[in-house]
Amino acid sequence: MAVYTDVSDEELEGLVATYDIGDVLSFKGIAEGVENTNYFLRTSESSFILTLYEKRVNEKELPFFLNLMEYLSDRGINCPQPVSNKSGEKLSHVAGRPATIVTFLEGLSIRKPQAKHCESLGKALAQLHLAGQGFDMHRENNLSVSGWAPLFEKAKDRANSVASGLRERTESDLLYLQANWPKDLPQGIIHADLFTDNVFFIGDDVSGLIDFYFACTDALVYDLAICLNAWCFESDGSFNLTKGQSMIAGYQSLRPLNKEEIDALPILCRGAALRFMLTRLVDWLNVPPGALVKPKDPLEYDRKLGFHRHVTDASEYGLVR
Ligand SMILES: Nc1ncnc2c1ncn2[C@@H]1O[C@H](COP(=O)(O)OP(=O)(O)O)[C@@H](O)[C@H]1O
Ligand SMILES: N[C@@H](CCOP(=O)(O)O)C(=O)O
């Protein structure tokens, strides 16, 4: 459970009194997520999520995320809407942390997606990229290639205690990716963390997207590389080509990839896997004392990297030319 910060009854009452959202009926820490503290809040008027921003979120960047959710929602993407308080502000403070109340989205996340879910996700990702065009705020991806070496610094001395040879494999991946990372691909707003727990379905169709706190401006096809990693591997570590084909076809049905994007897909998939291996490794080695959180397994992404290192062509991810 990701509850890093407790909110007392008094703090909650004080916060809710600054909003026009009715009276508190129930309030409960949420058993998923690893980044921020989330509570489910039900009031006499509706259901909401209270998010308290933790370690990786810089308060100065919150207007980017909150405005982005509003912009996307105005353009037909079903994502959480920040609720303004009585003073018209979307950002509040509670229990010593910056916080927002956002609307609750209906739908269920799917733990074991099938090809049809991957296709629907591919379409939803392309819709998100198209809807994000014209958003006039910019946020660097601080977890892209230039951010990986500093992240690894925090973990490299203890990496081999997690898996034998992990330090050496990671150093070699870093060198390769730093030397070959593609530039000049089409850019735009990317979600950058569209894992299965951040996508809601109703039936077989994507009904909503949440958790925009890694969103940034980067190569659009890098977002597809993140999703191929997160959705198309089986638990035995194999890549499911049918799922990859479905996702890429779903994406291309709305936003066809150009030649440069297709050529870049293998290295972007490898980079995306390294990015999640690294953040997981750092978190694995540094669980805050007392936090109710289950850190995610870095070795899942170490295994995925083992696959990506041998890929030479986008067709190996299911791209049909
Ligand atoms: N707007 C929302 N509507 C419904 N459920 C939500 C919403 N936001 C978060 N949740 C629930 O809270 C969980 C954790 O949220 P998430 O944003 O992924 O946290 P974290 O940023 O810590 O990873 C989600 O998996 C989901 O179950
Ligand atoms: N998706 C990341 C961790 C970020 O957590 P999330 O709950 O916001 O998706 C990972 O799996 O490493």
Asked which of 55-64, 139-148, 266-275, 282-291 is least confident by mean pLDDT, the reply is 282-291
In the prediction, which pLDDT does 291 show? 66
Asked whether 34 lines ligand 2 (CB < 6 A), one says yes
Query: Residue ranges per domain, the chain?
Result: 9-103, 115-317
How many angstroms separate the CA atoms of 76 and 128, rounded?
Answer: 9
Helix (H) or strand (E) holding 49: strand 47-52
Calculate how far, in angstroms, residue 65's C-alpha sits from the geometric centre of ligand 1.
15
Asked whether 34 lines ligand 1 (CB < 6 A), one says yes
Asked whether 1 lines ligand 1 (CB < 6 A), one says no
How many angstroms separate the CA atoms of 266 and 272, rounded?
Answer: 10
Calculate how far, in angstroms, residue 250's C-alpha sits from the geometric centre of ligand 1.
25
Structural domain 115-317, CATH architecture: Alpha-Beta Complex (3.90)
Asked whether 296 lines ligand 2 (CB < 6 A), one says yes
In the prediction, which pLDDT does 120 show? 98
Q: Where are the alpha helices (DSSP H) in 44-199?
A: 62-74, 115-131, 145-153, 156-162, 166-180
How many angstroms separate the CA atoms of 210 and 200, rounded?
Answer: 8
Q: What's the pLDDT tens digit per position in 188-233?
A: 999 999 999 999 999 999 999 999 999 999 999 999 999 999 999 9
Output the six-digit token pair for 159: 């990496």
1 pLDDT band, cuts 50/70/90, is: very low
Q: What's the pLDDT tens digit per position in 12-54?
A: 999 999 999 999 999 999 988 788 999 999 999 999 999 999 9
Q: Which ligand is nearest to the CA of 200?
A: 1
Report the topology of domain 9-103: Phosphorylase Kinase; domain 1 (3.30.200)
